[in-house]
Structure 1
């Protein structure tokens, strides 16, 4: 999937206190007496036609707002600079907007700013941070408002990256329906939404739907005249035309799109995609110049270190071409690059698509690499070292693959067990993890070892009752709760409380807290189908965890499976019933 190619649904964000644009800037005499409303109107008018003029209006807004100590207009100014930014200052503008918005405690501005920050990290292919910022933005956004729905569509694009096409399309269509229902079809966001739908249908090979939304987007573009958006819509149209085997018509469309993308440095990945499909057209037309296009794609990928499964397909063409021409050095060169690309894809994505290793899967590539190295220079010490390292790597990958398969089977079986057992404690007790093998009495049972606590019977009884209330009131879902805080709330000290939990539960306090939270979220997931649709980060939040990693580790330790496998098992069980 092409990350930079999805620029438009995500291009709705950015700002921090900065100096580069303001430093040395003076408000032109012609703008000194203009109101904020007039400046903003001029900015919007020049936003897509003359970014140099638009920057002057944005800087003027900020300087006037700072002079008047108008934080809302300062935030507006940073947002305006974000919209025309195409350099390293982008994140600075976003953070500036966040800083000002926090001073105002303005949720509307905060939701916008954090959405922009999510976009920034999306472009950087840091999906974890991107999603985190989207969720923060959604927390500030007005429920079911425009920003809220837009953020959902941004998350839809992340799902598109994971090749979850049905869910991605559902979120993108939801945003489109919201805009139409609220008469926002004249807004630039609607045009961007049409583009993203066109692209989503393209990657899922639903060409009729893709062409439909591309055409609607181009019709809207006649009014907005946004050149980057026109180029992107043309690119989708050109790719669809290629897939329909109309090579002669597709070639000039893609050439034009590639030319337009070169005017905007943000669109380097779009250039790569257009060049890739131009290369495929030339290849199908038996034009040997196809190799130049594919080598340009490789150059963009290795420079930007930003790749997609779609662009990965460049390398089999390059490797096969140089294999047929007998150029072993080039063949080895592009095998190395393909291995590099696969390492990036493996790192960036939560799973490996079966299409990654169609022809040149990792073991085959490493084996061919060893043969080529030996053939090029059998006496070279460095090549011999690489040969050995490659063999070790193959063995390591093989062992890891076996272990991963066993682990996946274990996760699936334990997840199925959790769904089949109506009693959660009974299900967990069958999990063969030491963590769960220690039995513990209920809070209502007598504490036969109470004398170890050096507490009076009345005090122990009181603490038992308080712990019962702690559980029944679900105080364990409070993210801030810990042994120190709870001991203060129960009017005792941490040592006594720790001993009491050990005696009553057979666990230390963190284990006790984790088990309460995991048992709770398992029950909730069983009862609440809507909760099953949440992201793992959102489910972790519901269970009282500050981050996904802590939640996943606790869930795995207690159940011997992962949340994702458990949710999948629940859904499969529902489909079978």
Structure 2
């Protein structure tokens, strides 16, 4: 009856275990791959707390597959953590090869990014894998590496766990002296972890058993069991103590005590559903009762052992099938995520290249804009400078026009006064002395003398000019100014020194010398100044000359070559005629 009930319980347990598979969350891996690394890890950890290991595995695998070298260092750290969590689930599902693969991937991520604190955890877990296969030496090597990293980074929590493992496994490897060293180092952290006192009793018992101090060892085992019960540690801790006590009593030949602790272990395992412990304790009871000659109990526990082992085997087979499919899906999704990650890396490289190209274009555009701004600023400054020159030239021109107007008015008044004086003289009966005879007559005489000395040297000409009286010079200069007051004369392209001399009834040499002496310039420079000033007036007169081209303005003031006009205009005013015309139009 008990046997049937027990089998039914195990079948029920089998159904309960299978429910997560039937109700497994259908994860959309492509959509989840878009989540940030922190969100994926949080979801995975949340499902682990709810014991939804399959769903948690999905999140961990996605995050592990997202790893790439272009990620932020913080995200790489989370990927390494995901590798560790996923590997632990594979370890629990007895898929040691996949667990080992993910542990190694995590180690590679940590070594590339100097995550020494995580390396301690990874080497601890890899050591646990070797311990499962009772490869104690490899396990010890991994634990030692992990211990170095834990101490290097100040990871006390992992350091304590590694010291616990090293102390215990050194006993299984018959390295009692090393076990003692690690035990002493572990006990230095007493009070910092609730498991230290438990493992303090348990590992001490193992060391004493190796030293064949069985009574002391048994006492330590009992203390560890009492502590586990007191601190409400996981059932496997108490069960492990009962199992070790049964082995120790069997080893020293105390069969009754061995049977007692086997029964305790059996009841405890059944109560807490620790199946692997139950199978081991039932098998030990069958063997022990057979040794004592109690065939009835031997047969009973043997049959129970076979039933449970068959049930456990069936459950393991079912889990294996489930895990095989699950692992296949996980691996497929892992590869898919890895492929997506590769595509993302290629896109990131492409984006970086495009960004670099865009940066170059932006830089070139910025330089171009700066150049435009500089050119614009320079043009504005130049335009202001041209405006200043225009205003200065305009002021000088207006001043000269005012002076010219005043001079003409003065001369006209002077002529009026002389006319009045002449009329008054006639009225009084006096014969006026022809003024022309004094001025023009003297000029004609001088002209005759100049003609006689046409072939003389420059010294003779200068001497002849110096022979003119101050009054004659003044009269000659007055006549020159009077002619030059008429733009129609000097704006004629045929106007020359000879024509000017003819218009004032004088000699060209006298005229040239008077211009040189008065204005300190030759006739060409003298006439250019008059023509350019007239050009300025016409460029300012936009109502009459606004539609004139520069060439037309040049021809209107006597220049046959508008190029020559532009050069002379800029030399005298400081700006070109086109700019002068433009500024004049702006001031309308």
| Rg (Cα) greater in structure | 2
TM-score by length of 2: 0.39
TM-score by length of 1: 0.39
Q: Which has the higher helix share?
A: 2
